[in-house]
Chain A
Amino acid sequence: MSQPELENYLQTYFGYSTFRVGQKEIIQDIMEGRDVLGVLPTGSGKSICYQLSAKLLDGITIVVSPLISLMIDQVKQLKAINFKEVIALNSFMEPMERRKVYQKLHTYKLIYVSPELLQKKELQNILSKLHISLFVIDEAHCISQWGYEFRPDYLKLNTIVETLNNPTILALSATATSNVQRDIIDAMKRPAIIKHIYPMDRDNIAFCVEEVETDNEKLPILSNLLTNYRIPTLIYFSSRQTAEDISKLLSDKIPFRRIAFYHGGMEQIDRIAIQQQFMNDQLDIICCTSAFGMGINKSNIRLVIHYHLPPQLESFIQEVGRAGRDGESSLSLLLFSKKDLYIPKRIIQSELPSKQDLQSVFSHLLNIFNSSGKLPSNEQQVQNLLQLSETQWRFLRFQLEKHGMIDENTILYEKENWEKVFQKINNLIFERSLLKENKLNEIIQWVHEKECLRKHLYKSFQSSYQKPKFQCCSNCGFSISEWEPLEITNVKNVELSWENKLKKLLFIGVNDEAK
């Protein structure tokens, strides 16, 4: 396909006049049937690479993504721009609804699916009869045992691709070290894959680490900074409760800023409302957990604050990358307190089952084997039954299947094997915890770095970085007084009576010229 033609399609279907770095090159390779590994920084428009391809290719494009809320958001956004042949399949769908959708899967151009659901034979059978032209692995770093977000289900993707008659593969990630890149290529068995690797450093973001003794010192820092600037701001927290609490305290302290919180525990209608209010500049500041931001295209976020230390550099880089997508001067501020270190440690511990958990799961399984022999078919019920979190159960299910202790929902008992498997899993848990702890140490080291923060932030991902466009970092003499971000022009919030608000909302008394 000739180049101006691709640009025309981009304009017609997505309303953008030009491609961003890397997009066109990747799409061209895909259109010519070449497998691609794309490593592009957060916010660079990775999804356009497969969305436009899906529109142009003959058959169906499948996107495997571990982030259900991201899939749902993307489907909404695509439908909003009139890309209607798109659906997100996940295990939260009502069985009835899912069956209905399965019957008309051939009518879609772009199918998002969670890795868990893709393991199901029923879906695989249907998909294998369809013409799949592109298979996209989003967040492809999840395939690597050495990545920070290993998803065992991702390891089975290569056999699934075979049953789908080996379509073109596009593996995408925002954070993949060269080791992880190698793992992705090995796991997918595509040595000839074409690599499009783009640097992830951001020359318009300044980095600032501020160490404090206790939590009490954080709030005044936030309120001073946010009093001085009226700028779209994200504040990341490791806990939902703290995000809510600080949102409230901050609202009391700086009532002239519009502040809200956002986390995965909120009702869907409220999540959409808060997200869109922020997109729409009805809100200035969001106190959120890592659930916020994925798939959000807001170009003028000026400030990303980390109230807590994230458990590894990868998530920090992704979250910071949401700032300044329009290229204007932006700031990352990390508030570090030694007293917080237990938080990422606890997160690491809770991600994997403990030895006690493991023992109790094994004895539960034996009991079930002796009675019905089958696990409930609903994953939620299994989790409740075994008292595991979703992440813990996902990890264990894979191991149990791999070692022949369960087959789908049937439990297979063999005393000797079970004893061996117990040891194996226990060792694996130990290894993975160690890996996570190393990841944590890496970010702690970075926080205490004496040299340039920019240099050391990106060093394990790329060999060099661009010269900063504005100020560099707190180790290179960053000064907040010299920071001059573009501010939001003052918004007047006139309080109307409810009658007038309703009139305004419903366009009563507005004639057509006012449109």
Chain B
Amino acid sequence: MLVEGIILKCSMNIQGERTDSAIYHILKGKRSIQTVQDIHLYQLENFFGVYKSLKKQLFERKINELNAKGFLQRISTSEPLFKTSKAGVDWLDQSTVEIPYHYFAGLKYNGMANSFFERLTLLIQTLTNSYMKYYKFIPVIDTTSVENWVKALFLKAKSKESYILSTIFQELESLLHYLTDQEAEMFVDRLSGYKNYGMSIHQLAVKYEMTSEDTQLYFTGIIHRMLTMIENANSSFPFMSFILKDISNKHMITNSANSTYTFLKRGYSIDTIAQLRQLKNNTIYDHIVEIALYDANFPIHNYVSKEDQQKIMKASSITRSYKLKMIKQSVDEHISYFQIRLVLAYAKNSLGR
């Protein structure tokens, strides 16, 4: 129901102006200018990247089901363009009683939610085991960066386990009170501790009588909600804020782009980076566009002059389009596709803030 609801919400805003794969990319959190542009244009920031493991097959099945049920209405025979029908809108209205759509804050948290939960659950598992002097436990999380973070904290936290555990308890308890009892229980069920391993997504799905897909999404929503509460009242949740502190949106940038960025900052040229990294120049261009999309301090003037930036933005607003070809045709010939993409990405970046 949750997956369906979110698809209907998206298509309601998009109103058939984009093909269904635009919705798919939004839910997957695709880091392309087109997708980032779409979420702003159609006000779907909150659903950006909320379902990263979504499979194309499943998505298409859902679209077909919604179409068959009459909640989605296909408005073109040549392209997969859908509108949410009257019946679909009615269903959505009713579903808001059960489905907390407002929990999601995808654009803001999709890069952080998972790291936050992984840190918290591994920390609890480590501290409770260490409190019981049991060191043979198998960690539930094996993400290297999370392991390192917990390790570093654990060195300082040793012998203070019970103090930290009670701090975690106090903050989690008041945080979970912002959720329904069932949601709070779901969250607690997933945590692991001493001789106690948390439930898998599928086990939660069985217990709470949902599909695995909905459970996955619901859990993401719960974490987003918790992150929102922590940010709104960070003085009430000092420890949770501490866990969050250095998880930033840098996770939004792919590792590969990040490594290109490191080279750029050291002053290497695009050609040299491509050679060193054994990648094509075009891949490096893609990385730079990606960086421009997410890093507010990106030095765009190194790549496009102020004058050309203005020309590109003007062309974009005149053509009322982000279609590269149309913009390219209406600007000076010396301006490259790369420069156009870069300027559009950078503009999205500043708009997003």
Residues of A whose CB lies within 8 Å of any CB of B are: 72, 76-77, 80-82, 94, 96-97, 248, 251, 260-261, 266-270, 272-277, 280, 282, 497-499, 501-503, 505-508, 515
The count of A-to-B residue pairs whose CB atoms sit within 8 angstroms is 97
By a CB distance below 8 angstroms, the chain B residues around A266 are: 200, 202
Query: Which residue of B is nearest A271, CB measured?
Result: B200
A277 — nearest CB in chain B belongs to which residue?
A: B197
Known: A507-B131, A515-B132. A77 touches B138 (CB 8 A): yes
Residues of chain A with a CB closer than 8 A to B172's CB: 502
Give the residue of B176, B193, B197, B203 whose beta carbon is less than 8 angstroms from that of A498: B176
Contacts of A506 in B (CB 8 A): 124, 128, 165-166, 168-169, 193
Is there an interface contact between A503 and B197, defined as CB atoms closer than 8 Å? no
Cβ–Cβ contact B197 & A501, under 8 A = no
Residue in chain A with minimal CB distance to B186 = A498
**Which of B166, B201, B202 gathers the greatest number of chain A CB atoms within 10 Å?**
B202
Cα of A169 to Cα of B346 in the assembled complex, Å: 58
Given A80-B138, A96-B259, A501-B185, verify A507-B162 contact (CB < 8 Å).
Answer: yes
Interface of B is mostly: helix
- A–B complex contacts, Cβ < 8 Å, 6 sampled: A72-B142, A96-B255, A282-B197, A498-B184, A502-B169, A507-B128
Given the known inter-chain contacts A261-B202, A507-B165, please indicate yes or no for A268 contacting B196, CB distance below 8 A.
no
> B73 at the A/B interface (Cβ < 8 Å)?
no
A499 to B139, CA, bound (A): 24
Pair A274/B206 contact, Cβ less than 8 Å: no
| Residues of B with C-beta under 8 A to A94 | 255
Least CB distance from A375 to B in Å reads 15
B155-192 interface (Cβ within 8 A of A): 162, 165-166, 168-169, 172-173, 176, 181, 184-185, 187-189, 191-192
Query: Nearest chain B CB to A274's CB is how many angstroms away?
Result: 6
> In the complex, which of the residues A80, A96, A280, A506 has the most CB atoms of chain B within 10 Å of its own CB atom?
A506
A248 and B206 within 8 A (CB): yes
Q: Is the CB of B198 within 8 A of A273?
A: yes
A80 and B200 within 8 A (CB): no
Is B75 at the interface (CB under 8 A from chain A)? Answer: no
- Structural contact, A80 and B137, CB atoms closer than 8 A: yes
| Nearest Cβ on chain A to B58's Cβ, whole angstroms | 13
User: Measured between alpha carbons, how far is A33 from B199 in the docked complex, in Å?
Assistant: 47
Cross-chain contact of B138 among A76, A251, A267 (Cβ < 8 A):
A76
Please report the C-alpha to C-alpha distance between residue A269 and residue B117 in the assembled complex, in whole angstroms: 12
Interface pair B165/A76, CB less than 8 Å apart: no
Task: Check: B144 CB closer than 8 A to any chain A CB.
Answer: yes
Residues of A within 8 A of B135 (CB): 80, 82
Q: Tell me if B347 counts as interface (CB < 8 A to partner A).
A: no
Tell me the complex Cα distance, A275–B187, Å: 20
Extra inter-chain contacts (14) besides given A81-B136, A269-B140, A269-B200, CB under 8 Å: A76-B138, A80-B135, A260-B203, A266-B202, A269-B118, A270-B202, A272-B139, A272-B140, A272-B197, A276-B138, A282-B197, A499-B173, A502-B172, A508-B166
Asked if residues A508 and B169 are in contact (CB atoms below 8 Å), the reply is: yes
B188 and A505: CB pair below 8 A? yes
Tell me the bound Cα distance from A81 to B135 in angstroms: 7
From B140, B144, B165, B187, A273 is in contact (CB under 8 Å) with B140
Residues of B within 8 A of A275 (CB): 138
User: Which residue of the partner chain B has the closest CB to A94?
Assistant: B255
A505: contacting residue among B176, B185, B196, B202, CB under 8 A:
B196
Tell whether, in the assembled complex, residue A251 and residue B206 are in contact, meaning their CB atoms are under 8 Å apart. Answer: yes
Asked if B62 lies at the interface with its beta carbon under 8 angstroms from chain A, I say no
In the assembly, what is the distance between CA of A515 and CA of B169, in Å? 19
Task: For the complex formed, measure the closest distance between the CB of A289 and the CB atoms of chain B, giving whole angstroms.
Answer: 15
Query: In the complex, are the beta carbons of A276 and B197 less than 8 A apart?
Result: yes
Complex Cα gap A269–B259 (Å):
27
| B324 at the binding interface (Cβ < 8 Å) | no
List the A side residues contacting B193 at CB < 8 Å: 505-506
The answer to whether residues A97 and B144 also contact, given A276-B138, A280-B196, A499-B173 and a CB cut-off of 8 A, is yes
Contact: B197 with A76, CB < 8 Å? no
Q: Does residue B141 face the partner (Cβ distance < 8 Å to A)?
A: yes
Q: In the complex, A502 Cα to B188 Cα: how many Å?
A: 6
Chain A residues near B118: list those with CB within 8 A: 269
Contact pattern, B 193-215, Cβ under 8 Å of A = 1, otherwise 0: 11111111111001000000000
List of A residues within 8 angstroms of B195 by Cβ: 280
For B203, the closest partner residue in chain A by CB is A260
Nearest-CB residue, chain A, relative to B216: A267
Shortest Cβ distance from residue B245 to the other chain A in the assembled complex, whole angstroms: 21
Residue among B131, B138, B168, B255 with the most chain A CB within 10 A? B138
Residues on A with C-beta less than 8 A from B191 are 502, 505
Within B70-98, the residues touching A (CB, 8 Å) are none
- A142 CB to nearest B CB, Å: 26
A505 to B255, CA, bound (A): 35
Most chain B beta-carbon neighbours within 10 Å: one of A94, A273, A274, A282: A273
A488 to B165 alpha-carbon distance, docked (Å): 32
Taken together as a complex, chains A and B put the C-alpha atoms of A515 and B203 apart, in Å, by: 29
Residues of A near B197 (CB, < 8 A) are 272-273, 276-277, 280, 282
Please give, as numbers and ranges, the residues of chain A lying within 8 Å of B198 by CB-CB distance. 273
**Beta-carbon contact of B201 and A267 below 8 Å:** yes
Asked if A498 and B128 sit within 8 Å, CB to CB, the answer is no
Chain B residue with Cβ nearest A93:
B144
Q: Which residues of B contact A498 (CB under 8 A)?
A: 176, 181, 184-185, 187-188
Flag if B200 contacts A270 (CB, 8 Å).
yes
| Distance between A266 CB and nearest chain B CB, rounded to angstroms | 7
In Å, the complex CA distance between A469 and B193 comes to 39
- State the Cβ distance, B38 to closest chain A Cβ, in Å: 27
B188:A273 contact, CB within 8 angstroms = no
Give the CA-CA distance A277 to B193 in the complex, in Å.
11
**A76-B141 in contact (CB<8A):** no
When distances are taken between beta carbons in the complex, the residues of chain A under 8 Å from B165 are: 506-508
Could you tell me if A268 and B200 are in contact, using CB atoms closer than 8 angstroms? no
A103 to chain B, nearest CB (A): 15
Interface positions of B from 250 to 299, Cβ below 8 Å from A: 255, 259
A261 partner residues in chain B, CB cutoff 8 A? 202
Find the A residue at minimum CB distance from B136. Answer: A80
Roughly how many angstroms separate A266 CA and B201 CA in the complex, as a whole number?
10
- Which A residues are in CB contact (< 8 Å) with B206? 248, 251
Give the Cβ gap from A451 to chain B, nearest Cβ, in Å. 43
Residue of A nearest to B204 (CB): A270
Q: How far is the CA of A76 from the CA of B140 in the complex (A)?
A: 10
Question: Which residues of B lie under 8 Å from residue A80 when comparing CB positions?
Answer: 135-138
Contact across chains for B142 and A268 when beta carbons are under 8 A apart:
yes
Q: Which residue of B lies closest to A515 (CB)?
A: B132
For the complex of A and B, 9 pairs with smallest distance between CB atoms? A270-B200, A498-B185, A276-B197, A505-B193, A506-B165, A498-B184, A80-B136, A506-B169, A277-B197
- Residues from 113 to 146 in B contacting A, C-beta threshold 8 Å: 118, 124, 128, 131-132, 135-142, 144
Q: Known contacts being A76-B139, A82-B135, A506-B166, is A260 close to B202, with CB within 8 Å?
A: yes
C-alpha gap A267/B215 in the complex (Å): 14
> Which residues of chain B are within 8 angstroms of A269 by Cβ–Cβ distance?
118, 140-141, 200
| A298–chain B nearest beta-carbon distance, Å | 13
CB distance from A280 to the nearest CB of B (A): 6
